[in-house]
A and B are shown apart, each in its own frame.
Chain A
Amino acid sequence: MLLHILNRSPATSEVYRQALAAMGPEDRLLLIEDGVQGAMSTLVGHFAEVTGRLYALRDDLEARGLIAHCDTTVAVTDMAGFVTLTEDADRTLSWF
């Protein structure tokens, strides 16, 4: 199982499609930086195929005033949780 890290918003960039194309059936996706826009209820549909395996970084949601807009299907994690996600995965890949 790999952890994929995405820092681009699906509203402005198609990089998320590359991340999804490279994901295996158990892989997880963590949204960081501008990528956390993808956790918004209006945009989370782009990640429908990885529901239940989608995470977003709390610091980046809060800094952008997006925490209240975060969809309930997204697991919100802090920096320590970010490290834990990398521990649980065999490897990580970054998409930017």
Chain B
Amino acid sequence: MSNEQGDLLVILRHGPHGTSWLREGLDAALVAAAFGRRVTLLFMGEGVTALLPGQGSGPLGQKGTAPTLEMLEMYDIETLLVEAEALARYGLDAGSLMLPVASVGQGRIAELTASHPLVLTF
């Protein structure tokens, strides 16, 4: 599932709605993919909450990020990883999230940051 040959690793560490970090991090990932780069997404910490099913729009019609996440496959962003420790902290199961993801432990995260030519943290 994970792709060590990816060009870009985008680490998303914030949830939806509260700040624009998640949306702007996803935008960077989508643009890179649109330019033909192979993108790996890693949801760390609070970022795993971006994948909760049943999200809605926010106050004043704030769009949220779930619709963007649903488009990832269209952009050929298929390597979606989540931090195992964060899943445990929030009491979530990888299989219950809105998209198919692979859970990764601490050692694997270090390998991912080492193997991608470009890593962006949001």
Chain A neighbourhood of B119, CB < 8 A = 91, 93
Query: Which of A21, A90, A91, A93 meets B85, CB within 8 Å?
Result: A21
Chain B residues whose CB sits within 8 angstroms of the CB of A18 once the complex forms = 13, 44-45
Say which residue of A14, A24, A25, A96 sits within 8 Å of B113 (CB atoms): A24
Q: Complex formed: what's the CA distance from A41 to B105 in Å?
A: 30
Over the window 5-24 of chain B, the binary record of Cβ atoms lying under 8 Å from chain A Cβ atoms (1 yes, 0 no) is 00000010100000000000
Contact A2 B113 (CB under 8 A): yes
Residue of A nearest to B114 (CB): A24
**What A residues does B110 contact at CB under 8 A?**
21-25, 27
A47 located at the interface, meaning its Cβ lies under 8 Å from any Cβ of chain B in the complex: no
Query: Is A86 interfacial (CB 8 A cutoff)?
Result: no
B114 proximity list for chain A (CB < 8 A): 2, 24, 90
Within 8 Å CB of A2, what residues of B?
113-114
Q: How far is B119's CA from A95's CA once the two chains are assembled, in angstroms?
A: 11
Shortest distance in angstroms between A8's beta carbon and chain B's nearest beta carbon?
A: 12
Binding site for A on B (CB under 8 A): 11, 13, 44-45, 83, 85, 106, 109-111, 113-114, 117-119, 121
> Which residues of A are in contact with B by a Cβ distance under 8 Å?
2, 14-15, 18, 21-25, 27, 90-91, 93-96
